[in-house]
Amino acid sequence: MRRRGTQGAAESKKLLAVACAALALLLLAILHQSFGWNSHAYETRERVGAVGHCTLGAEEFIRSLPQGASVTLDRPYDPGKPGRQSVRLVVENGRRKTRHTATLRLLRLRSLVYELGTTPEPFPPELVFNERHLEGIAMAFKAPVAFPTSPGSVGAVVVLDGQEFPVTLCAQDTIKPQADPHNVEGYVNVPVPPGEFAQNLVDATRVTARYVSAPDFTRLGRQSVTIALEDEGGNSITLRARLNLVKSGDKVPPVIEGMHDIYVGKLGTVAYRQGITVTDDSGHATLEVDSSQVDTGVPGEYTVTYIATDPSGNTATATAQVHVSGVAEADVARMADEVLSSIIEPGMTDRDKAYAIHQWVKLHIVYYNTGEKEGVIEGAYNGLATHRGDCYTYYALAKYLLDKVGIDTVIDLQREPGHRETHYWMLLNLGEGWYHFDATPVHSLYQPHDGFMMTESEAQNFAIKWGNPEYYVYQKDMIPEGVVIEP
């Protein structure tokens, strides 16, 4: 009886264990239904970023997620910690949740420093990130970079693993210039630029030359010269060469060209040197301007004198007339600036500017025979203030506006005296030769006339076909020697 009772107790324990196991399975099933945990695996991927600049979201570490699924960080990663770190993820798909682990590698950005003249192309990641063993990591610039050509820095954006990071490109110049000394023979009183004593110059940046001690250009014979060559990076070398000065047999004076009448408003500023050039065999002639006789505060005509001197003491003089108007320069300039601001745009060529001025004057001034020919300033003022005038007004206003935009290659023309009436226009050179420029409108039903940059034959043929063959008959002595009008 006791043995049977013992067996019954053992069987009862087994039944209890089975019941507990079944209960545990039932509870586990309930937990799965309640909390959604299962063992479905999603493929993770390693990502690369930059310290302090990484903003990767949790979804960036999972290669593909089914529609409707979401992923979150189980705990945030440290964006300021260089090296590799584990990123814990939780994927939720419906009521099912899984845990995953991915790897994040954060690289340390650094300024990209390179030597001018040795720019690597393409830039390897090792120059941008202060790390080793970056094989297999693709890096590129977001946009083409204008690398500095002189020492300095420029900002850029690199793309790494699909992310954009700012980087500073620093160009440096640490290499000294290379050059050979060059002996020079010159003339007494003719200065020699210091760069003439160097040849075969090699450097990645612009190099300036200076005398360590200036030679005596008034002394005949040989003397030693020391120059310093310094590049934009501050690297410098010195060279020693020889200068031999001999007497010059130069008896030819300099040549002054570009003389022209100058028109200025009352109390205006006179650009005496504009358009004036001096040439000499020595290449070192100086120009002095004597404007002591000019008084811009009093209207009238004055004489300005130009004196050119070459190193041998030969001189040349020339004079020009300065016409001071009774109209205040400030008033004319203000109205002219208003016109120019409405027709001149950034990026225009000189030809574009000249055509815009030609068309504005031609279309905005009404022809009216005033008979007044007081001067360019007065003509420009009358045209801007009244919007009417005769051919002299068209000529004067166009000339004034051209000068305001820096186009001063103008030769004034006037119909040859002795004809029934006068006419005023100009020649204009925009770097392609001399052409006729006439903004005065001509109304003809049978012969079209634009008047902008006409060749000689175009101007004369128009006048003949228009029935006024004397229209463009000009004074030949108004054309400077050597000037050729486009035929």
Question: Do residue 403 and residue 435 come from a single domain?
Answer: yes
Q: Can you give the pLDDT at residue 141?
A: 81
Question: Do residue 99 and residue 140 come from a single domain?
Answer: no
How many CB atoms within 10 Å of residue 215? Answer: 20
The size of the chain, in residues, is 487
Number of domains in the chain: 5
Residue 205 makes CB contacts below 8 A (sequence gap 6+) with: 116, 149, 150, 151, 173, 231, 232, 233
The CATH number that applies at residue 166 is: 2.60.40
- Domain, as residue range, for 53: 47-106
CA angle at residue 432 from 428 to 434, to 5 degrees? 35
Q: How many helices (H) and strands (E) does the chain have?
A: 6, 25
Question: Do residue 451 and residue 348 come from a single domain?
Answer: yes
Q: Can you give the pLDDT at residue 1?
A: 46
Is 19 contained in some domain?
no
Q: Can you give the pLDDT at residue 294?
A: 93
Residue 347 makes CB contacts below 8 A (sequence gap 6+) with: none
Residues 483 and 410: their CA atoms lie apart, in Å, by 11
Is 210 contained in some domain?
yes
Is 314 contained in some domain?
yes
Q: Sort 3 into a burial class: Cβ within 10 Å, 0-12 / 13-18 / 19+.
A: exposed
Is 364 contained in some domain?
yes
Question: Do residue 370 and residue 473 come from a single domain?
Answer: yes
Is 397 contained in some domain?
yes
Residues 324 and 293: their CA atoms lie apart, in Å, by 12
Question: Do residue 418 and residue 358 come from a single domain?
Answer: yes
Question: Do residue 100 and residue 116 come from a single domain?
Answer: no
Question: Do residue 289 and residue 407 come from a single domain?
Answer: no
CB 368, CB 390: distance < 8 Å: yes
- pTM score, two decimals? 0.48
Question: Do residue 101 and residue 113 come from a single domain?
Answer: no
Residues 326 and 137: their CA atoms lie apart, in Å, by 76
Question: Do residue 365 and residue 468 come from a single domain?
Answer: yes
Question: Do residue 192 and residue 86 come from a single domain?
Answer: no
Query: 28: number of CA atoms within 13 Å, CB side?
Result: 7
Q: Can you give the pLDDT at residue 36?
A: 40
Q: Can you give the pLDDT at residue 32?
A: 46
Quick one: which of 123, 131, 120 has its CA closest to 50? 131
Question: Do residue 123 and residue 206 come from a single domain?
Answer: no
Is 139 contained in some domain?
yes
pLDDT, averaged per 10 consecutive residues of the chain (487 residues), comes to: 56 65 58 44 86 89 88 92 92 89 88 76 65 70 80 84 84 93 91 94 94 92 96 95 89 89 84 88 88 91 94 91 87 93 94 96 89 81 90 94 91 78 90 94 78 94 89 85 88
The CATH number that applies at residue 238 is: 2.60.40.10
Is 484 contained in some domain?
no
Is 21 contained in some domain?
no
